[in-house]
Amino acid sequence: MKKYGFLFLLMLFICPLGAQETAQVSADTAAGMAETVPAASVDPAERNRMLYSLGFLLGDNLKRQLILDNEDDYKALSQGMRDSLLNKQSQTTLDDYKPQIIEKYRQDAQTISQRREAEQKKFLEDFSKEKGVKVLDNGVMIKLAKKGKGRTANTNSTVTVNYEGKLIDGTKFDSSYDRNEPFTAPLSGVIACWSKAFQQLRPASKATVVCPAETAYGSRPVGVIPPNSVLVFEVEVLDIDND
């Protein structure tokens, strides 16, 4: 019997404007953890590394939502965060600036979306011109690195593959290699890109498969994958079961 795997996609989601109930849950969870982990057992250096990592992830999330143009922007933002974390008095009347904050999020989201759309369009155009790329009728692109042998899959086939999935900026969102476990699934149960692409591949073949957003998750965010994302997979076909 074949073992079926799943694409495990994890996301750190940070709401930019509040979510007090979530914050309360987080505080309660932290309090519960504090009761179970003695303070003396926490290595200060390790705690600093953990908090640095948290800060880095917070910054990474913010830069996906906001456009910060220069060093002064970074200084002002970090000073506001520092004052808040240290329970200092705000240097501004916060309510006066809430409309501007909301408008900045709106404008930046629109600009970031437009930039991403242009970048992804260019990526698809450039990749389609590379030597050896085959463009399928739904826009999926395949570039073979190794041809493989045997029968190709059909819509009723089950495939076993190793793969690594990335966004066009190189961000890795999933990998069977990292889990040390191949992924097995029926082609009727995977994204349209995979279903179409694997009908072009043979056992032992290796390829780069590029999935336009509409053949992957479309406008739906999945884990660390933003809405309307082009996905790039490095795949290795281990087995095709046509029975």
User: Active site residue: 173, 183, 198, 225, which one?
Assistant: 173
Question: Is 191 one of the catalytic residues?
Answer: yes
- DSSP assignment letter at 222: B
4 assigned to active site: no
Catalytic residue (one of 142, 198, 225, 233): 233
Active site residue 163: yes
Catalytic option among 163, 183, 225, 240: 163
Residues forming a β-bridge with 206: 146, 236
* Amino acid making up residue 190: V
Contact status, residue 229 vs residue 15, Cβ threshold 8 Å? no
Burial string for 161-185 (b: 16+ CB within 10 Å, else e) reads: bbbbbebbeeeebbbbeeeeebbbb
Q: Which of 191, 198, 225, 240 is catalytic?
A: 191
Element holding 156 (H helix, E strand):
none
Assess whether 174 carries a catalytic annotation.
yes
CA angle, 13 as apex, 107 and 215 as ends, to 5°? 75
Instruction: Kindly name the residue from 174, 183, 198, 240 that is annotated as catalytic.
Output: 174
Phi-psi region of 132 (alpha: psi -120 to 50; beta: other; left: phi over 0): left
What CA–CA distance (Å, rounded) separates 10 from 57? 13
**How many other C-beta atoms lie within 10 A of the C-beta of residue 203?**
16
Among 183, 198, 217, 240, the active-site one is 217
Cite the active site residues. 163, 173-174, 191, 217, 233
